Structure 1
């Protein structure tokens, strides 16, 4: 009873899908880019990096100080007669190129953040392309499973009639009923996968449609190969990280140069009401801390970023090559599987069904024909899905900040 309920639920889901509004790949990409939390988070981080880059160019604020001396003491310093009041303004002067080095780091980090935003958008687009294709494939597999279940029902009915008239032994009816049970189980499984694929795409694009359906893709054109020495998005990211690491070396070296603080002001003597100007300058003595450890750490980080850039270049070339090869292989499979062999397999099933009913073919021959057709259709569905995955991988591998 429970199994029948699952089958009924699957059939109900398929019936609802028949009237579901289809979403095209372009619409899914646009909706996902607008609502995706990962893109929104990357955008916020890029805005934060932009604000930090603006702040990095700011100079130190001047300091205003007020000092009151020689009051409320004893003897000649009782009360306020000997009070001395000093109003001074001091300014820390950055030396060693600290401001320019700090600005270079912030600018590189800003560039990295905006490249990360572009990478998040490219990753999301790849995931949506794959999820859209997987939903389309799940729909095709579910419809194929439904067709097979319908054929199995008809086959079981025919086998029962043939057994009743004595043309086939009871074993044939048992075999047909076993095929029906397998087909119904596969139908339930395929529709479960359909619901999961539908939910995954809906989450990616922020859709609340419970009957989300994937429109058949128009067939995106594969991008052409990047010109030689053209960096991919991943290489641009690694280069931006390297630039930031190199800029941090400048900051570490600049921090080793002590800053000068200059001050000037006016002092007023309470007893005689006289005033005088004061001036001063202070500078730390770099005897103990010359920031050597931070300089060496920044240099090591820079070497690591250089290696990461080389690795990113190797991975980018390999990923592009592999994706293009997989796309070519998938296109070839689709061309072969969608050719005359599919129509021939369908015709073989039609003839075997007629022949079985007329007593010219056995049940096993009909089952073999149906299995061959199912295998061919399933292989075509998988080939189309592999083509979509390879195309999504290639588009992502060749993404650049400027496109």
Structure 2
């Protein structure tokens, strides 16, 4: 099913989420197995996500209401008969008076225009709510995609850990055969291999769960891909906090408040217009059966003191309108705090990734190789080799965690600002 009504918000949503922090497709696995890119996941979600389709029905409802409110007051046809079926001269229909009337209302104060303006404001709000909801859904999808990428990276790390544990186990066995180490160390090394195998199995199962959670965004139950195709360690450009904060003021979440304000303005206008009394008119023909004569009849009527009776409605509408302003200010302050937190965490973790890649991990890899060689030559203990291996694996795990935090922070930034840093 194609949800064509989502087309008008696709541009902002695609530009905001598809290129999440430069998470570009990796070509390493393009020909080896079925893969999924974030761009494909977003496109399928926009096409088939049931949660986003509800706004289509809301739009249709408001359009129907606008059509109703655009109608002018109906003209009524009225037939009256008097002085019949009585006594004396009014027996039967000889003395009857029959009147045929047309009547309607002349709306004063621009009520029809005010009603249509109110519906237009609600349509506008629904449009921005649709975009905000779409950004939220795509943000959840992008975060799950990133978590899946992190799990894939952890699986690669777990495979590395398993290979190291098996290599260490073989080295311990070799030394034990020479009598250079105890049987207890062989058992410990074997247990380390088992733990690494269990860790790999747990991560593989987690990725399967994450893939099932991911495909629900476009209404599927079973994934048709084997691997997520993206680079967890590729980030977009840095922007200043002031530049990002300026974008928040035009983001869909704040545009909803602006739409609320327009709705309240329209309600105030409608309340004031309702205070203007409408004029009811009547015009018709009256026939006198006893003489056979006819005469025209006409009349006007309007309620008195309608403005005074409507003051409460106007005051209530104005109070609600003023409350919107303070709610928007409060929301802007909360968005400012969230944006700064995400921006700060992104920069912090990007710095951590850079230092881990450039300094810590190369040093620990060299230290591990030196320790392993020294252990094989009998100069280091088993505990020294295990410690060097664990330090190296912990540093690589910290690198994955930091990169994941960068990407998730950027997803939040793009949700808040409604724009992609890489665009």
**TM-score of Structure 1 vs Structure 2, range by shorter chain:** 0.7 to 0.9
Paired position in structure 2 for 1:9: none
Paired position in structure 2 for 1:245: 264
Paired position in structure 2 for 1:319: 338
CA distance in 2 between counterparts of 1:230 and 1:352 reads 52
Counterpart of 2:300 (choices 264, 273, 281) is 281
Moved more, 388-397 or 227-236: 227-236
1:119-169 residue CA offsets vs partner (Å, 9 max, x unmatched): 122222322222221111111112222332343344345434544543222
Please state if 1:184 is matched with 2:172. no
Counterpart of 1:81 (choices 94, 102, 107) is 94
Paired position in structure 2 for 1:377: 396
Paired position in structure 2 for 1:232: 250
1:72-120 residue CA offsets vs partner (Å, 9 max, x unmatched): 4444434333333322111112223322332332222221111111212
CA distance in 2 between counterparts of 1:183 and 1:39 reads 42
- SS in structure 1 of the partner of residue 292 of structure 2: coil
Counterpart of 2:289 (choices 270, 273, 295) is 270
CA distance in 1 between counterparts of 2:264 and 2:309 reads 20
Using a 3 Å threshold, how does the CA distance of structure 1 residues 261 and 20 change in structure 2: closer, same or farther? farther
CA distance in 2 between counterparts of 1:357 and 1:131 reads 43
Using a 3 Å threshold, how does the CA distance of structure 1 residues 287 and 21 change in structure 2: closer, same or farther? closer
Paired position in structure 2 for 1:304: 323
Q: How does 1:4-403 map to 2 (within 5 A)?
A: 20-207=33-220, 208-217=222-231, 219-221=235-237, 225=243, 231-233=249-251, 234-286=253-305, 290-399=309-418
CA distance in 1 between counterparts of 2:244 and 2:369 reads 49
CA distance in 2 between counterparts of 1:258 and 1:232 reads 40
How many residue pairs get matched? Answer: 385
Using a 3 Å threshold, how does the CA distance of structure 1 residues 267 and 19 change in structure 2: closer, same or farther? farther
Counterpart contact for 1:46–1:117, Cα < 8 Å: no
Name structure 1 gaps, 5 residues minimum. Answer: 1-17
Deviation, structure 1 residue 221? 4.5
- SS in structure 1 of the partner of residue 93 of structure 2: coil
CA distance in 2 between counterparts of 1:384 and 1:140 reads 10
Using a 3 Å threshold, how does the CA distance of structure 1 residues 263 and 120 change in structure 2: closer, same or farther? same
Moved more, 263-272 or 315-324: 315-324
* TM-score, normalised with respect to structure 1: 0.84
Using a 3 Å threshold, how does the CA distance of structure 1 residues 97 and 82 change in structure 2: closer, same or farther? same
Counterpart contact for 2:275–2:307, Cα < 8 Å: no
Counterpart contact for 1:42–1:120, Cα < 8 Å: no
CA distance in 2 between counterparts of 1:330 and 1:336 reads 10
CA distance in 1 between counterparts of 2:245 and 2:388 reads 49
CA distance in 1 between counterparts of 2:173 and 2:89 reads 126
Using a 3 Å threshold, how does the CA distance of structure 1 residues 387 and 54 change in structure 2: closer, same or farther? farther
- SS in structure 1 of the partner of residue 309 of structure 2: coil
Counterpart contact for 1:235–1:309, Cα < 8 Å: yes
Counterpart contact for 1:223–1:395, Cα < 8 Å: no
Using a 3 Å threshold, how does the CA distance of structure 1 residues 353 and 48 change in structure 2: closer, same or farther? farther
1:321-376 residue CA offsets vs partner (Å, 9 max, x unmatched): 33332222222122222224323333433444444344333221221122112112
- SS in structure 1 of the partner of residue 271 of structure 2: helix
Counterpart contact for 1:98–1:255, Cα < 8 Å: yes
CA distance in 1 between counterparts of 2:400 and 2:246 reads 35
CA distance in 2 between counterparts of 1:231 and 1:283 reads 47
- SS in structure 2 of the partner of residue 181 of structure 1: helix
CA distance in 2 between counterparts of 1:51 and 1:319 reads 39
